[in-house]
Amino acid sequence: MRINTAAGREDLRALWMEGEVVKMIDQRILPKKLRVITIKNYQEMAEAISNMTVRGAPAIGAAAAYGMALAWKAGDDLNVAAKTIKTTRPTAFDLFYAVDLMLSKREGDLMKESELYAEGIIAMCRTIGEHGASLIKDGMRLLTHCNAGALATVDFGTALAPMRVAHRAGKKFFVYVDETRPRLQGAKLTSWELLNEGIEHAIIADNAAGYYMKAGKISMIIVGADRIAVNGDFANKIGTYEKAVLAKENGIPFYVAAPISTFDKSLKGEGDIVIEERSPNEVLLIDDVEIAPKGAKALNPAFDVTPAKYVTGFITEKGILAPGAF
């Protein structure tokens, strides 16, 4: 991704292998500070996935693959490493896909295999961008929810990939960026990426999306996905379902951008998708500042599931697929 720094414009990935360690951007402190941390073993990688230093389904998959490579390099028990990494985030399918892939290649060089996996994600995301950019026309006003950009996918993005490709091709459009409570990934991360890319946008409160849809100010919606069932039902950041329902009500095309690796062929539909429940503190506090009365309780589902009937199409590296085509 393109990043503007004091030293000038740089290209940087969300995470990468450097020698025998993994480097990654600490997404917890963006946009206040750009900090790169070092991961030396699979235990540290598991913690980084769990505490959301790295996040976004494809990026989590790459992190999991790198974690398995670190375990292989250190001579650790790969089955133990796999179990540890798999317990970090229950919803993102790419994590499980990557771990199982590395286990299947355990007789080879997992340092090389994990790098090939990460490079494959980047290539898929670039292709997703090329397919999706064909949907974006001059003058469009798009909406996206959460962060499905380079930070979530190693590089390029899923939902943001078509926007990157369209912008670099000279198309003029505008993006509404949902703030995405409770962790504010839209306000903190998506806006940061779009600013660095030079794409015109504005952050809006999650509750404002329906207002802009009804007012006829949104042409199309593009979101990412963390897990997709074979019938097209998909899990994404909490709040996605309501955007999809409102889009259907207002006749707005609703697209999901994701690589084929996000489709879980073991899941028939919505009822099979596990939803992660995270700490209530993510709702009760913002940047360690209490915003609720002392003693108040909170519920914090990290994802919701949107039925396939609300999806116009899936933008994948194989092309734009109709719901259920998988």
Which of the residues 226, 233, 264, 304 is marked catalytic? 226
96's CB contacts (< 8 A; 6+ apart) are: 86
Neighbours of 43 (CB within 10 A): 16
Element at 290 (helix H, strand E): strand 289-290
Return the DSSP state at 277: B
Are residues 150 and 157 in contact, defined by beta-carbon separation less than 8 angstroms? Answer: yes
Which residue reads 């397919």 in tokens? 131
Identity of the amino acid at 254: F
Q: Distances in Å between the alpha carbon of 151 and those of 3, 58, 132, 134, 271? A: 11, 10, 19, 23, 29
Are residues 262 and 228 in contact, defined by beta-carbon separation less than 8 angstroms? Answer: yes
The burial class, CB within 10 Å (0-12 / 13-18 / 19+), for 150 is: buried
β-bridge pairing 319-321 and 201-204? unpaired
- Tokens at residue 284, please? 């009760």
Decide if 226 is catalytic.
yes
Residue 43 half-sphere exposure, CB side, CA atoms within 13 Å?
Answer: 3
Catalytic residues, which ones? 226
